[in-house]
Structure formats: structure tokens, C-alpha cells
Structure 1
């Protein structure tokens, strides 16, 4: 029996569109507030390469968008990626399921039995 996923698809699409709309809003505002310079590497941008300048949320909360821009900084796409990588590293790498990968190999399994056979 096939499930009808159209309702879920509609909700996901709407959420993505809202997120993109919100991002455009604070990005446009940040570009008006701040000089077009990466806050890490100091690379400068103009209209030709402005798409490589991104808004980074200092507290990692994309819903925290004060009008004064106090939670934003402009970073080039490379520095922005690096910033998020540092955050992931500091928190520890976790797989997408939200659980840590656990080793299953036990080198001491059945050690007692192995030692008995040696005697």
C-alpha cells in the first residue's frame, strides 16, 4: 500500500521557502549594515562576486536576527564553512541520526576461555 506523501512534501517545501525568504531578508540587511569584507580573511567583495559573501550567525541560531545585526558577521563562503567545521569539531562529530558511532570489536572477548585452553 503506497503512502500519500504529498502533504509532507508540501510542508517541507513551505518550510524551505520560508527559510530562504528569511535568509534573503537578513542577508540583504547585513549587506547594507556591514562593509563587503570577510570578517576572517579580509577578502573584499564587489557586485561581481558578492554571492560568495555569506552571513554567519555568531550564536549559531538562525532565528536570532536582531535588526542591528549584532548576531551577524559577513564571511566568505570558505571562512564560513571553516567556522562551521570548527563548531562541529568542538562539539564532537556525530552522525546524522544523532547518536555516536560505537566500536563493536572487543579484543578481549572470550579471553578467559582462550587462557584456559592454553594451560
Structure 2
């Protein structure tokens, strides 16, 4: 008997739950290690953090590979939420700024200006 949609959905739900649990474990692991290793200061704006606002301090992977978590923390830096968002936005902008693929402007509004001025003078 082939599996039903309900069986498939149950299997998918289990996979998603497992992936989320693995992600949470991985997040807690390297975040806790990074917070123990580094001072609670944003590596970009130098904002200092305390226990009250520590949730605003994030771990940034320098090579953008979240699975690269060396024991010495060499791939991490602590960044505040704003600097972390800015860092990822810079990466997105850099990736999408391929100037070779950009369309160039083909219309020149002043192309016939000299001719038009000469015509006006002659009339």
C-alpha cells in the first residue's frame, strides 16, 4: 500500500522538527562558546553589552559558513544586531552588484541638441 499524504506530512514534520532541534543545538553551542571566549563588545561599533541586553549581541561567521565552528573561535566575531544585519546586507549588495550584467542607458536626451539649436538659429 503506497504512503498517504498524511504519512508523508508526518515524515516531513519529523524532518523539520529534527532540523530545527539540530539548528538550535548548534546555535546554543557556538554562541555560548563565543560569549565565554570574547568580551561582550560589538566588533564593529564597540558597543558594550551586559546581561540585560546580551540578547542583542550575535555571533557572526566571518566566512559566512554557519557549519564552520572551530574550537578556537577563529571564524567568529561578536556583532550587535545592527552591525550584523549591515554585514549581511553588504554581502548581498556585493553579490548583486555585478557591473557586467547591468543594463546601460542607451537614450541620450541631448543627442540632437546641437542640430536643434542650429535649426532654431537658421529660422
Question: What TM-score does the superposition give when structure 2 sets the normalisation length?
Answer: 0.72
- Look up the match of 2:46: 42
Any runs of at least 4 consecutive aligned residues in structure 1 with deviations exceeding 2 A, and if so which? none
Kindly indicate whether residue 5 of structure 2 is the aligned counterpart of residue 3 of structure 1. yes
Tell me the equivalent position of 1:79: 83
Give the superposition deviation at 1:3: 1.9
List runs of 5+ in structure 2 lacking aligned partners: 98-123
- TM-score, normalised relative to structure 1: 0.74
Instruction: Work out which of the residue numbers 22, 30, 41 in structure 1 matches 2:26.
Output: 22
What displacement does 1:33 show? Answer: 0.6
Q: Which of the pair is proportionally richer in helix?
A: 2
Cα displacement (A) at 1:42: 0.5
Question: Unmatched 5+ residue regions in structure 1?
Answer: 94-119
Distance in 1 between residues matched to 2:48 and 2:80, nearest whole Å: 9
